[in-house]
Amino acid sequence: MNDKSKPKPDSTHGPIDLAQLKELMEMMEAHDVTEVNLRNGDEQWRLRRGPQVTAMPMQAMPTAMPPMAAPVAAPAQASSAPAASGDTAAPVDDGLIEIKSPTVGTFYSSPSPEDPAFVKVGSQVSAESIVCLVEAMKVFNQIPAECSGTVEKILAKDGDAVDFGQALFKVKPN
């Protein structure tokens, strides 16, 4: 008798209606639903679309933190690399002083495009001499030489983006 009672609920539910299933899947896609749980009596359906990543966001958070720390370390390594290459070039330059950018911005060699450059190779500078402008946030900062000597190299061009501490000029001290 128990065996006959089981087929009765199955016959009330009937076979899977593929048209309804297809319609449900289309609705899930149209409304960007990734999971649906349906229950009708003892019968339960779970539909998922897309990759199953339910637990992944929580696991991905801690692993995402170290890569965020890596880019912070990478610029320090990148900025030490030019210093290292500058150190290897130092014997060739033989005692030249670098005039460095005090801020991030855009390098300009003259006050306006029509005006001559503040300095050129061979120019004599004193500590107070303005050697260029660095525009940062619409403010044009005058950059003084802060040393005395002869300009030997100009390392930036008009319109170049410059970083904090980037060498702009090399000066042979007097």
Provide the residue-wise pLDDT of the chain in tens; the chain has 174 residues.
544 544 444 445 566 677 877 887 888 888 877 777 777 777 777 777 765 443 334 433 343 444 444 344 444 444 444 444 444 444 455 789 999 999 999 999 999 999 999 999 999 999 999 999 999 888 899 999 999 999 999 999 999 999 999 999 999 998
Tokens for 87, please give them.
């150190």
- Look at residue 76 and tell me if it is in a domain: no
- Look at residue 88 and tell me if it is in a domain: no
Residue 121: the pLDDT is: 94
Taking the C-alpha atoms of residue 102 and residue 169, their distance in angstroms, rounded to an integer, is 13
- Look at residue 75 and tell me if it is in a domain: no
Asked whether 110 and 116 are in contact (CB, 8 A), the reply is yes
- Look at residue 110 and tell me if it is in a domain: yes
Q: Are residues 174 and 102 in the same domain?
A: yes
Residue 115: the pLDDT is: 92
**Count of domains for the chain:** 2
Asked whether 94 and 119 are in contact (CB, 8 A), the reply is no
Q: Show the domain range for 28.
A: 2-48
What stretches of 94-166 show up as alpha helix (H) in DSSP?
none
Residue 33: the pLDDT is: 78
Q: Are residues 106 and 40 in the same domain?
A: no
Domain with 135 in it: what CATH number?
Answer: 2.40.50.100
**Which amino acid, residue 44?**
Q
Q: How many CB atoms lie within 10 A of CB 141?
A: 14
- Look at residue 79 and tell me if it is in a domain: no
